Amino acid sequence: MKLWLWFAVLVFAWALVFVLSLGSGYTEVNLGDICRQGSLTQTVVGEVRLPRAILATLLGGGLALAGAGIQGVFRNPLADPALIGISGGAALFAAIYIVFVSQMGFSLVGLSGSAFLGGLIATLLVLLIGGRQPDLSTILLAGIAINAICLAGVGLMSYLAPDQTLRSVSFWALGSFNHIGWAEVSVGLLVIPAMLRLISLSLVLDVLILGDREAAHLGVSVIPRRIEVILWSALITGISVSLVGIIAFVGLIVPHFVRMTFSAKHVFVLPFSAIIGGGLLVAADLFSRSLLAPVELPVGIVTTLLGAPIFVILVARWSKGLWL
């Protein structure tokens, strides 16, 4: 079967999961009442489940795309947006907001805005440490250091948090869609331009994988394109973390699945990753709110339980020099 026919199959699979997420959950819905004004079904589907499914699609697709872009830029199959400190910076600023700023009644830019600002600052710090002529190893080491510092800061905030806010810090840091409405969806739409730009850079990423010298000989401006991919990935990840917290492993495992199953060319890896990532996060959200209903698991726990075993396999293959 041709690859684009497979893409159509994946779109159909995403649509099935999307519809299933609208009709499944702790509260039973009567699909016959979905258009009846003021009915419980219309409220549950239209105001709760539909925005969650839409945002999960956008953010899952965006995170998978960002992961594919970061892996291509760093030529490292174990890389993902968290590697360069984006998620850690966002989590730290969100924790600071929850523990200190919100208690003072001074909102600044709010929880989501604080998280996005943290992710942006962490990314800029990594690029600043990398210098004017950043190489891959410098950026990677800077990202690991910044991420470690930020996560240590989150731990400190959890230690300092009063009992009534400790659960908020922990639950938010693990990722959750339980507060999502149409306002959050409108912010989530901002990832679409970034996703489209990353897809347009697919040929550039194919060239960058060959190495910096070869890419330069083929006419690619290596450093500007590398920084551009990092910044677009940072934008997507920052928006995601600012809205729903840290969603682990989506940006790591989805691109590998595409490479193993379909093609290693980025013209296929990027769009295939977007649709699979969107469907995966919709399914993870459905599972998180259905498994122990009415108690809702943080969706980050679900994606971690799925991704961690796969990550171990990837590490084992990478240690043997196998590129997936």
**Distance of alpha carbon 272 from alpha carbon 204, whole angstroms:** 17
**Given this model, what pLDDT does residue 156 score?**
87
CA-CA distances (angstroms) from residue 32 to 27, 35, 48, 58, 71?
15, 7, 18, 28, 46
Of 179, 55, 178, the residue nearest 110 (C-alpha): 179
CA-CA distances (angstroms) from residue 9 to 4, 14, 77, 256?
9, 9, 26, 19
Of 169, 172, 189, the residue nearest 239 (C-alpha): 189
Percent of the chain with pLDDT over 90: 22
pLDDT confidence bin for 324, thresholds 50/70/90: very low
Q: pLDDT tens across 127-168, in order? A: 888 765 556 677 778 888 888 898 888 888 888 877 767 767
Residue 128 falls inside a structural domain: yes
> Domain range spanning residue 303?
3-319
Residue 324 falls inside a structural domain: no
Residue 262 falls inside a structural domain: yes
**Distance of alpha carbon 105 from alpha carbon 99, whole angstroms:** 11
pLDDT at residue 122 above 80?
Answer: yes
**Distance of alpha carbon 205 from alpha carbon 265, whole angstroms:** 9
Of 240, 114, 228, the residue nearest 184 (C-alpha): 240
pLDDT at residue 191 above 90?
Answer: yes
Higher pLDDT, 192 or 127: 192
CATH code of the domain covering residue 191: 1.10.3470.10
Higher pLDDT, 209 or 199: 199
**Given this model, what pLDDT does residue 80 score?**
79
**Distance of alpha carbon 312 from alpha carbon 82, whole angstroms:** 17
* Lowest mean pLDDT segment, chosen from 33-37, 128-132, 189-193, 285-289: 33-37
DSSP 132: S
**Given this model, what pLDDT does residue 279 score?**
94
* Lowest mean pLDDT segment, chosen from 140-149, 164-173, 209-218, 312-321: 312-321
Higher pLDDT, 204 or 293: 204
pLDDT at residue 26 above 70?
Answer: no
**Distance of alpha carbon 99 from alpha carbon 79, whole angstroms:** 31
**Whole-prediction pTM value?**
0.86
Percent of the chain with pLDDT over 70: 84
Query: Averaged over 174-193, what is the pLDDT?
Result: 89
Query: How many other β-carbons are positioned within 10 Å of the β-carbon of residue 179?
Result: 12
With beta carbons less than 8 A apart as the criterion, state whether 251 and 314 touch.
Answer: no
**Given this model, what pLDDT does residue 218 score?**
80
Q: Which amino acid is at 72?
A: G
**Distance of alpha carbon 58 from alpha carbon 277, whole angstroms:** 9
Residue 209 falls inside a structural domain: yes
The count of domains in the chain is 1
Q: What is the DSSP string of 217-262?
A: HTT--HHHHHHHHHHHHHHHHHHHHHHH----SHHHHHHHHHHHHT
pLDDT at residue 259 above 70?
Answer: yes
User: Token match 């291509």: residue?
Assistant: 72
Mean pLDDT of the residues in the chain:
82
What backbone torsions phi and psi does residue 78 show, to the nearest 5 degrees?
-100, 5
Please list, residue by residue across 282-309, b when 16 or more beta carbons sit within 10 angstroms of its beta carbon and e when fewer do.
bbbbbbbbeeeeeebbbbbebbbebbee
Q: pLDDT tens across 61-109, in order? A: 999 999 999 888 887 777 777 777 888 888 888 888 888 776 655 555 6
Query: Averaged over 222-238, what is the pLDDT?
Result: 87
pLDDT confidence bin for 241, thresholds 50/70/90: confident
Higher pLDDT, 318 or 3: 3
Q: pLDDT tens across 262-306, in order? A: 888 899 999 999 999 999 999 999 988 888 777 788 888 888 888
